[in-house]
Each structure stands twice: as structure tokens, then as C-alpha cells.
Structure 1
Amino acid sequence: MRMHHYLEFEKPLVELEQKIFELRGFSTDQVDFTAEILRLEKKAEKLRQEIFSNLTRWQVAQLARHVNRPFTLDFIAQIFTDWFEVHGDRLYRDDPALVCGFARFEGRPCAVIGHQKGRDTKEKVYRNFGMPNPEGYRKALRVMQMAEQFGLPIFTFVDTPGAFPGIGAEERGQAEAIARNLREMAALKVPIIATVTGEGGSGGALGIAVGNRVLMMQYAVYSVISPEGCAAILWKDGSQGPVAAEALKLTAEDIRQLGCVIDEVIPEPMGGAHTDHKAAAEQVRLCLRKHLADLQALSPDELLEQRYQKLRAMTIVQE
């Protein structure tokens, strides 16, 4: 059972839903509140549409971080079968912030890799708040190379504020590990589909996001830095995050308008993916199926060329 957490802009809606819940509890054979409940439900639906059709970029960033938002293991449970997790990078240790392994997608064997956050304090600490160390990226690369060896498509799920910036991570080669993944993923001869499901933060996201297709969920964000980090650098004040979010233009719609960074925005249930994991996962599954079918028609050399051209298209040179 997930605990309910509500964001500040959701509170008017929460108050209405609480009234509906209370009226249902008071209803008996002698006292019928059906008409009043229906009236409040219509009001709540209208309010929900108003709120979620006018979200600021900062509010979208809050949704992307929602503690009840589905994480990689939630998507694996809903979309894939026969999940078998692989642990360790064969160099240092395992990294719980990145889950990697093999599964079946609609009956076809595949590799699945993704950032994993936690919901309670104990799990957040265990998963390091979804911020991988170098061994996480090396573990991911090990699984990707195994997938290539057996001709398996690779699905990655991106949801991290960024790679862990600790001294130990830097000592063990954080930058090198991410850079190696960028280089090696660009050359893999199997289909790679990356999906930004929550936060797509800087190089920590890119370390598993080089693909033939890059998708974003409707209320995900993708940026070189977090709004708070940007505000701390520009104004020495992390509380200016909402202002920085507007300047960063980090929402799925913003990224889509760039024309070359992502290939599709995956719609979410009204109110966000955290309100209905099953419906959100179904939308992701349908999108993955469509793009995998397209990529399966390409030869290994064509996959490489398509990925290369996609990356080249992200750069615009002006003289």
C-alpha cells in the first residue's frame, strides 16, 4: 500500500476528494448522498483538468519527482515478464541505484536497465536517491554488451537527479564511466530505446540514454542541471528554482519542440503517472512496442547509422 503524498498545487483537488470520501462513508439506506457525491465528482474532474492543463515548468518538475511516481522496477513488473536482475560490475561492487538485468517484452528476450529511487527513508538511502556511482554505469555497460552478444534489444528507463557527486565516486572514475558508456552505447549493434520516466538529470541520465529512440513521459523533465542547482550557480540561491525551471525549458513539450532530442512524448493518466501505475505502464508498453517494431526492421549497420545521424542532428552550427 503506497502512502499518499500531495503537492501544493494539488491541495484544492485533495480537499474535494476528501469530502467525496467522507460523504460515501456517511451514506446509509436511510440517508443517500448520491446526488451530492456526483456533483462533487464532476466538480473535482473539472478542477483536475484545469490544474493539469496549466502547469508551470516548476510544477512539472515536482510531478517528475513525485515519491509515488512509478520507478523502473514498477515498470518492469507491469510491462515485462521473466525478470532476472544482474548485480555487480566485476570491478568494485553492486550499485542499487541502477537496476540491470534481462527479461521478456511481449515474449521476446531483452535487456532492461534503469535508475531506481526509493519511497521511504530506508529505501531512499539504499538506492542513494537514484544517483548512481561509477560501478552502476559499469554494471549497465556489462549488461548492454551481453545483450549485444546475444542480439537482444535494450530498454533503458531514465529517472535520476544526476550521477552521484561524492568524493568516492570521483575517485573511482565517475566521469570516465559515463563517457565510456556514451561511446560504447553509440556503437552497439542492437536496438536501444531510452525512456525518460521522471527526472533526466545531466550526465547521470545520458549514461544510459544514448539510443535509436529516446522517449519522454508527459510529466518528465530532461535538463543539464536541476532547477535548484541552476539557481544556486546563477543567483547563489536555490530557492529561485521556479525561475530557473522556466529558463531551462525542461518539460517534455519543451524538449519535443527542439525537434531532434526526443522522438515521442508518452501521455500519462490525468493527474500524472503516480495516480495510476497500471495505466501509465500500458501507455509506455504500447509506445515501446511501436518503436521496437520499427527498429527490428533495420540491420545492425542501419541501426548504427540511424543512431549516428540522430546524434549529429542534435548539433546546430552557426557561422
Structure 2
Amino acid sequence: MGTLPFEKHMYELKSKIDELKNLATEQNMDLEKEIRQMEVKLYNMQKEAYKNLTAWDKVSIARLVERPTALDYINRIFENFMELHGDRYYGDDAAIVGGIAYINGIAVTVIAQQKGNNTKENIKRNFGMPNPEGYRKALRLMKQAEKFKRPVICLVDTPGAYCGLGAEERGQGEAIARNLMEMSNLKTPVISIVIGEGGSGGALALAVADEVWMLEHAIYSILSPEGFASILFKDARLAREAANAMKITAQDLINFGIIDRIIKEPLGGAHTNVDEMALSIKRNLEESINRLTAEPIESLLTKRYYKFRKIGKVVE
């Protein structure tokens, strides 16, 4: 498991605790009191550290390879997930997974950007950077959900849309723009949750929703801090300073009214307890799906329109 820069002392203390536990087992020694004291110290250190994270710290957490991926959540939150493939134009894109599932007996359409848990899986998933066919697959599933009156749940986790030559040749910009247009008027409830990185238009293409949520340590930005630093500061090495200036954390964005809800993560981040994190997301979804499906669709569309008009004015 990777260690974040601000976790160095905590990692050292945890190593000492593990050494004491091994010593107690091997030598049959009673070290329970000492171990307990060190565990309390570690907990307090974690609590204090995670209470004062910088924007760059949150970027580091959002990018952890250990951080749960969309499929980790889908398999824990939903029942009977049936993945559907292809955009019916070009092919299938493994960077976006989508299909039909149930949550407490309610049929929903789930669409997510999928990263890998290791290098091999990341190559298969293109590191969570979708091609145009991925966004067109997502739109196909959204229109299907609209037809059958299924709520749409989107899990957002991407550094950004893939910017390769082939993607541009197949209409990357058009695919993203069409999703923005169609989602703004999609006649079914839509909830989007930023679970890790929410990068640029690649994230926004799945985030024109009635409600946009973020996990506590997720980020949501117009581009990467490295890209921002390269353009404005002419030096990508100033990414840490750029992250702080960009206001990309969940706490910043809820204050601006750009997102609607922050879902608290377990101490240390979502990767420390995936089951607990998934349960928290599920509880939030259960409440919101029932509320949104009970509202007349014309009311939802009106609120969605004015929501993003308001965000547009904030951005301006």
C-alpha cells in the first residue's frame, strides 16, 4: 500500500505497533497496555492529520492506486448488476462500465468511469480516461433508462477524457458536448457521485445531474493541477500551489454551491474500509432515489436547469 507524504510519521508508528504485536506473539509477552497506548496515539495522529489536509493532500488521496474503484462500489451497493457493452457505432470502451442493477428492489441504471487496481488493469481501462465510444455508450444507457423510467446513478472517477489522436478523430469533443446537452434534459432522475478524481469535461460528461455529490477526499476540477500550473505558472512543478489555488476539494465546492452533498469517508480515506464507505453511499442513495422518483419529472427538469444556470454564474 502506498504511503502519502503527510503519513510518514504515522506509518513509522504503525510499523512499531506491528513489531510489538509480533514480539508479543513470538515471545509470549504481555504487551497489551503498550500496544493500546501506541494505537491511541496513532488514532489521534490520524484524526489530527486528516482534519487539516491541504488540497494537494486530497489530490494524493484521490489518486491512490489503493483507492476503491467504481466496480468496488457497484459490487457492494447494488444487486444483480448486469453490464451492457458498446455504443452501437464504433465499439466498447473499458474505461466506462454501465448496466442495469437493483438497489432495494428498485431498478436503476449505473454508469461509471473505471480505473484499475494495478498496472495491467489500468492499461485495460486506459487509466480511467474514456474515449468517445465510452461517452456514447453512457448516453445510450441513459436514453434506455429514460425510456424505462429507471433512475441513473453515475460514479465519476477520471483524470479527464482521453486526448489521443484516435479519440479526436472519432469526435471526443462532440461526444462530451452531446452528453452535456442530453443529460440536461434527461427525463429521469440523475445522481452523480465523484468518488476519486473528477477531471475536466471528461468528468462533467457524467455529472449533469439533479444532485452531484463528492466523497470527502475526492477532487473535482477544470483540469489537473499539473496542467493548471503549466498554463498559468509556466511550471508543472508548481502543481501543489496550483491545487490550493484551484478550489478543487469537496469542502470548497459545496461552499460555492457546485456540489450538493459531501459523503464522509472512514478515517484515513475510503481505501481503509471499502465496506463502510459503500454502505454510506448506499444509505445516501436510498434516501435520494425515493425522494427524486416521487417528484414530477417536469419539476426535476426545471430545478436541474436552474441549478446549472446558477453554477454557470458562480463560475463566471
Aligned equivalent of 2:213: 215
Q: Distance between the aligned counterparts of 2:249 and 2:268, measured in 1?
A: 16
Equivalent position to 1:225, from 215, 218, 223? 223
Q: Distance between the aligned counterparts of 2:309 and 2:289, measured in 1?
A: 22
Aligned equivalent of 2:203: 205
**Deviation of the 1:112 alpha carbon:** 0.2
Q: Distance between the aligned counterparts of 2:23 and 2:123, measured in 1?
A: 42
Q: Distance between the aligned counterparts of 2:113 and 2:20, measured in 1?
A: 41
Could you tell me which amino acid in structure 2 is paired with residue 253 of structure 1?
Answer: Q
**Residues 104/318 of structure 1: CA separation in 2 closer, same or farther (3 Å cut):** closer
**Deviation of the 1:316 alpha carbon:** 2.5
Could you tell me which amino acid in structure 2 is paired with residue 10 of structure 1?
Answer: E
Q: Distance between the aligned counterparts of 2:241 and 2:267, measured in 1?
A: 26
* 3-state SS, counterpart of residue 91 of structure 1: coil
Could you tell me which amino acid in structure 2 is paired with residue 183 of structure 1?
Answer: M
Aligned equivalent of 1:301: 298
> Quick check: 230-239 or 265-274, which moved more?
230-239
Kindly indicate whether the alpha-carbon contact (under 8 Å) linking 2:69 and 2:114 is maintained by their aligned counterparts in 1. Answer: yes
Equivalent position to 2:20, from 8, 23, 37? 23
Aligned equivalent of 1:71: 69
Aligned residues with identical type, % of pairs: 50
Aligned equivalent of 2:171: 173
Aligned equivalent of 2:289: 292
Q: Distance between the aligned counterparts of 2:287 and 2:242, measured in 1?
A: 35
Equivalent position to 2:10, from 5, 8, 13? 13
**Deviation of the 1:186 alpha carbon:** 1.0
Residues 170-225 of structure 1, C-alpha deviations (whole Å, 9 max, x = no match): 11000000000011111111100000111111100011111111011100011101
Aligned equivalent of 2:272: 275
Q: Distance between the aligned counterparts of 2:75 and 2:92, measured in 1?
A: 21
Residues 265-285 of structure 1, C-alpha deviations (whole Å, 9 max, x = no match): 110001110111011111111
When the two chains are superposed, the root-mean-square deviation of aligned CA atoms in Å is: 1.4
Structure 2 counterparts to residues 254-269 of structure 1, below 5 A: 254-259=252-257, 261-269=258-266
**Deviation of the 1:30 alpha carbon:** 4.1
User: Which aligned segments of 4 or more residues in structure 1 are displaced greater than 2 angstroms?
Assistant: 315-319
Q: Distance between the aligned counterparts of 2:28 and 2:99, measured in 1?
A: 57
Residues 231-290 of structure 1, C-alpha deviations (whole Å, 9 max, x = no match): 11122221110010011010000001102x111111000111011101111111111112
Structure 2 counterparts to residues 1-319 of structure 1, below 5 A: 4-28=1-25, 30-259=28-257, 261-316=258-313
Could you tell me which amino acid in structure 1 is paired with residue 141 of structure 2?
Answer: V
* 3-state SS, counterpart of residue 139 of structure 2: helix
* 3-state SS, counterpart of residue 107 of structure 2: strand
Q: Distance between the aligned counterparts of 2:28 and 2:53, measured in 1?
A: 42
Scaled by the length of structure 1, what TM-score is found? 0.96
Residues 65-97 of structure 1, C-alpha deviations (whole Å, 9 max, x = no match): 111111110110110010000111111111000
> Quick check: 29-38 or 42-51, which moved more?
29-38
**Deviation of the 1:317 alpha carbon:** 8.1
Q: Distance between the aligned counterparts of 2:63 and 2:69, measured in 1?
A: 10
Kindly indicate whether the alpha-carbon contact (under 8 Å) linking 2:191 and 2:212 is maintained by their aligned counterparts in 1. Answer: yes
- Unmatched tracts of structure 1, length 5 or more: none
**Deviation of the 1:318 alpha carbon:** 12
How many residue pairs match? The answer is 315
Could you tell me which amino acid in structure 1 is paired with residue 181 of structure 2?
Answer: R
Kindly indicate whether the alpha-carbon contact (under 8 Å) linking 2:69 and 2:117 is maintained by their aligned counterparts in 1. Answer: no
Scaled by the length of structure 2, what TM-score is found? 0.97
* 3-state SS, counterpart of residue 295 of structure 2: coil
**Residues 137/34 of structure 1: CA separation in 2 closer, same or farther (3 Å cut):** same
- Unmatched tracts of structure 2, length 5 or more: none
> Quick check: 309-318 or 57-66, which moved more?
309-318
Q: Distance between the aligned counterparts of 2:203 and 2:28, measured in 1?
A: 57
> Quick check: 296-305 or 218-227, which moved more?
296-305
**Deviation of the 1:156 alpha carbon:** 0.1
**Residues 219/30 of structure 1: CA separation in 2 closer, same or farther (3 Å cut):** closer
